[in-house]
């Protein structure tokens, strides 16, 4: 199977000021890098040229790739905004990528909101998230959403989600047994809690 084809975003990253790409972390990163290689490589993603190799390392003169540590802070947001003050040539595009965008606090989201909604010419924001339901709704609503999540990894198919959605809450012993069987780690339990408590955001 062609792994690159299976990870295709099937969306034009320049079609909208801000994109939200959701799914397993490694998959969203690979899909985005493949899309950027297709855009900037002279051979449309040969994988071996310096451009493709640099993009694998998230390096390009028209790319700024941000990571939380462990969450985003206002200093990082100010650095991102400062990047947009640089002029971009008429036919060029500059991409600002925020991994784990769900870790943006309300203060960071509010600071970022205006430039994300109306970035200067040539600038595009790409938010990556494993937990889109935890993303600030003000940011989510301004992004074009692309989901790379496979049917088998959807949270709404989790046994505990099914238990709640069927309102089968009468048997406490059955519920506790189901929890024990899942053997979830702390992150998985947190993700499931977010899924159960935050209303779904519409996919655009």
Contacts for 159 with CB less than 8 Å, ≥ 6 apart: 178, 181, 182
All structural domains of the chain with their residue ranges: 3-152, 154-199
pTM of the predicted model as reported, rounded to 2 decimal places:
0.72
Q: How far apart are CA 53 and CA 95, in angstroms?
A: 17
| pLDDT tens per residue across span 133-184 | 899 999 999 999 999 875 444 444 445 555 454 444 555 566 566 556 555 5
Q: For residues 9 and 123, what is the distance between their CA atoms, to the nearest angstrom?
A: 19
What's the mean per-residue pLDDT of the chain?
A: 81
Query: Is domain 3-152 in CATH 2.160.10.10, yes or no?
Result: no
């Amino acid at each position: 199977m062609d792994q690159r084809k299976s990870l295709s975003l099937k969306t034009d990253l320049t079609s909208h000021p801000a994109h939200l790409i959701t799914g397993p972390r490694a998959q969203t990163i690979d899909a985005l890098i493949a899309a950027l290689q297709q855009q900037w490589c002279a051979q449309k993603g040969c994988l071996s040229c310096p451009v493709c190799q640099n993009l694998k390392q998230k390096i390009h003169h028209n790319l700024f790739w941000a990571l939380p540590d462990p969450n985003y802070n206002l200093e990082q947001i100010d650095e991102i905004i400062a990047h947009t003050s640089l002029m971009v040539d008429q036919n060029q595009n500059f991409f600002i990528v925020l991994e784990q965008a769900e870790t943006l606090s309300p203060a960071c989201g509010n600071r970022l909101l205006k430039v994300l909604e109306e970035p200067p010419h040539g600038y595009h924001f790409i938010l990556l998230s494993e937990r889109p339901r935890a993303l600030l709704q003000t940011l989510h609503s301004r992004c074009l959403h692309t989901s790379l999540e496979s049917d088998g990894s959807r949270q709404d198919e989790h046994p505990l989600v099914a238990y709640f959605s069927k309102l089968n809450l009468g048997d406490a012993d059955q519920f506790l047994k189901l929890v024990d069987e899942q053997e979830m780690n702390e992150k998985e339990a947190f993700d499931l809690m977010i899924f159960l408590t935050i209303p779904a955001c519409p996919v655009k």
